[in-house]
Amino acid sequence: MRLLIFSGHTMLQRSAAALATACHAARRGQRVLLASFGPSHLIGALLGQNLGPRPLELEPNLAALEIGPLDELGSRWDLLRPTLRSGLAARLRDITSDELPSFPGMDAISTLMVAERARQTGRFDLLIIDGPAPDDLIRGLALSDTMRWLLRLVFGLDRGPGRSRTSQDAAIVPGAIIPSSTTAPLQDLRVEFEEYRNRFDASTGARVRLVMSPEELHLPPVRDNLVALGLYGIAVDEIIVPAEPADVSLETRHTFGPEGGPARPTLHISPLPTSPTDRDTWALRGAAFYRDGDIGTPAPHPHGAEREVRLSIPFLDAKALDIAVANEEVAVRIGQLRRHLLLPGLIEGGRLRARVEGEVLRLWVE
């Protein structure tokens, strides 16, 4: 199953692009699930259709749903609570799903959960996500790193099943007085988040499409978003601009796309009406938007050996890179962003090597 996430700050254009893509793909024979995330939804309004948290079959190849992140995470929490049986963790059982806080990035986390469930059903060829915004998507992708850091800081838990001596010595709560039954559910939850993110990696066929106005293309956040998503291993295959080609300057077209560098996304410029209408009209809009062709096939993602990782990072500035090894992990930092990578060769005593090849960061162990 392929996964396309439409992200952008302008909800109306983002939802229109996701809806037109879904209807066009369905009419071309793909089994499509269209999912809208966030506190506000536009897919149902644009279709004139009432949608809810369960997939509604709109036509033979198209189903749609609208999901509230708090509801999705609340359902997952209700499944986790019974496993918190003793010690400090048992006190967390008193927290009901209604008491869960709203936190930045929760839209992205619920997106990953729904994507995994849809993949397991085998019913769909393509899952199209409307949202979240780029900043929330990046925060959601960084959550597993945050949990890893927190569990190591508080309990001395490493990323793997054991506890290194360094982590135990630095822990706020000594590991000797905390039973494994207390920390195991928290560690399992962290591992689950990491597995969700790994399935969202570019090598799985997941892609992000940023929907931007011509004016936004000139602003720094677009490049910052591309750098951040690249650091976390996510491929942005297109920047969609719902506008007339004349509205985008030639200089901007050369900045993005293959002309600017092989790691950069394609610039897709085409008008797209956003007025509410029926599915037939949305399918026609999608056909015109994609010039009656396919919505795009993911290019193969370069795979390295077990001891190697390649990150395609558009607009990468090598001078802003900071790479370090800590507790058998590789910490890659770009500005305020940091990602932790586990390279098996380091555990075996190998030596880390790093090289910037164009706009690709290559990390390997020898």
Domains and CATH numbers, the chain: 2-289 (3.40.50.300), 308-365 (2.60.40.790)
Q: What is the pLDDT of residue 72?
A: 67
- Strand ranges across the sheet with 2-7: 56-59, 62-67, 32-37, 126-130, 2-7, 206-211, 236-241, 266-269
Sites in the chain below the pLDDT cut of 70: 38-39, 69-70, 72-74, 76-77, 79-81, 83-92, 97, 99-107, 158-170, 172, 174-183, 185, 189, 196-204, 258-260, 297-306, 327-328, 347
Q: Which of 130, 126, 142 has its CA nearest to residue 196?
A: 142
Phi, psi of 305 (to 5 degrees): -70, 180
Express each pLDDT in 294-330 by its tens digit: 887 655 454 444 578 888 888 888 888 999 887 667 8
- Distance of alpha carbon 20 from alpha carbon 287, whole angstroms: 8
Give the whole-angstrom CA distance, residue 82 versus residue 80.
6
Q: What's the pLDDT at 161?
A: 46
42-98 residue pLDDT tens = 999 999 988 988 889 999 999 999 887 667 666 766 766 676 666 655 666 777 767
